[in-house]
Chains A and B, each alone.
Chain A
Amino acid sequence: QSVLTQPPSVSAAPGQKVTISCSGSSSNIGNNYVSWYQQLPGTAPKLLIYDNNKRPSGIPDRFSGSKSGTSATLGITGLQTGDEADYYCGTWDSSLSAYVFGTGTRVAVL
């Protein structure tokens, strides 16, 4: 059972915006950096956002991250069919001494 909670799915039309929430606690999100990962069908996860809001090189600025208290949010603007994937948040949990992932959110482009 994951300590980080995400909505199971979100959807929007092409060109629209979606946001994915990630809820945790003071031992994880509240005191550590959050990352976001994209997993396209049948492939390995890929880092999208690190340190709450930074994008690795090559990740378009349509993807953004933010954090407030014990929650984090991933935003995707200008939604494309190629964005259909599972998205996971992740962070270190200082109480567990463990890296924890969110429950995952499937993004569907209508």
Chain B
Amino acid sequence: EVQLVESGGGLVKPGGSLRLSCAASGFTFSSYNINWVRQAPGKGLEWVSSISSRSSYIYYADSVKGRFTISRDNAKNSLYLQMNSLRAEDTAVYYCARAKGDVETARDYWGQGTLVTVSS
């Protein structure tokens, strides 16, 4: 069974940093492109970042470019999101989601999400 489990969320002050993790199991992690998607309270889905299977290709939404860094450790079946210079508008549930094929394709499995709250 494919499982994605996010962790690392919490309360952080504006300007602060946080590192999210996503632990994968039930599939060959190193063969798949993985993504971060977020959802602000009461709002819609917003794609944040994507990383290809061997980290060769990385993409970011304009809203996080220069502040967030996506990375992965295939030996540990883990995905990460380093979030710096956090703003109130970054408050959201952050999901990791597997891409079915190429990075452009459907997000076929999702984790349960981890909540990040940016507030003083």
Query: A residues within 8 Å of B by Cβ?
Result: 2, 32-33, 35, 37, 39, 43-47, 50-51, 56, 86, 88, 90-92, 96-104
Instruction: Give the residue name and chain of the A residue nearest to B50 (CB).
Output: A99
A88 close to B35 (CB less than 8 A): no
Instruction: Give the residue name and chain of the A residue nearest to B97 (CB).
Output: A45
Instruction: Give the residue name and chain of the B residue nearest to A91 (CB).
Output: B104
Which secondary structure dominates where chain B touches chain A? strand
| Complex interface: chain A residues within 8 A of B47 (CB) | 90, 98-101
Within 8 A of A (CB), among B3-46: 35, 37, 44-46
Q: How large is the interface on B (under 10, 10 to 19, 20 to 34, 35 or more residues)?
A: 20 to 34
A37 close to B107 (CB less than 8 A): yes
B45 close to A92 (CB less than 8 A): no
Query: B residues within 8 Å of A by Cβ?
Result: 35, 37, 44-47, 50, 59, 61-62, 95, 97, 100, 103-113
Q: Which residue of the partner chain, among A2, A32, A56, contacts B104 with CB atoms under 8 Å?
A: A32
Q: Smallest Cβ distance from B61 to chain A, in angstroms?
A: 6
Give the complex CA separation of A50 and B102 in angstroms: 13
Give the complex CA separation of A32 and B37 in angstroms: 19
